[in-house]
Amino acid sequence: MIYFKSKYLAENLHIPLSRWKRWSREFLDPDPLGGYQSGFARQFSFRDAFRVFLGGHFVGVLKFTIPQARQILIDLDSWLKENQLYTWPMANDTPLKETRRWIYIFEPGADRYGYAVRSIVPRDHLRPDGLQEEAYTLELVGLSWEAFAAERFTHARMIDVDALHRFFLHRIGDG
């Protein structure tokens, strides 16, 4: 398993080290090797590093508060794992089609969030005009369609999760 140190991640992602450490304290469980003065530098698995990066994106770019970002990460955790965004891609992992996914984070008046994932999947054949055909899907995360229709969501914020994941891979893989 590959592990990363805070300094490496902060430098390669162009995030101040103090901010990276703060985000890691906010979005991860306490370091199992010790506390602040244990003498051990925290090591991050790929999952933990991407989780901190994503949480930081929610706070720094989408302007969620730390508690809101923490709740969103908890809500999306199983979806991110199922869709292999928490695993380091291996050399033999060659997807047949490149899927683009956007996560819409709907904010109701209460403390409950709703999530929808919109995907564009290219198809193998071309249309008569020579353009590649695409299929669109919409998946709800943590909500049924009935609950989604019944909620009164005020607005949504969106992230291109695949572009963010590729950016993260490029930055830490090339360092």
The pTM score is: 0.84
How far apart CA 100 and CA 119 sit, in angstroms, is: 5
Nearest to 74 by CA among 10, 141, 145: 141
pLDDT at 175: 47
pLDDT at 111: 62
Q: Which amino acid is at 145?
A: W
pLDDT in tens, 114-171: 899 999 877 766 677 777 777 888 899 988 888 777 777 778 899 999 999 999 999 9
- Token pair belonging to 5: 């140190």
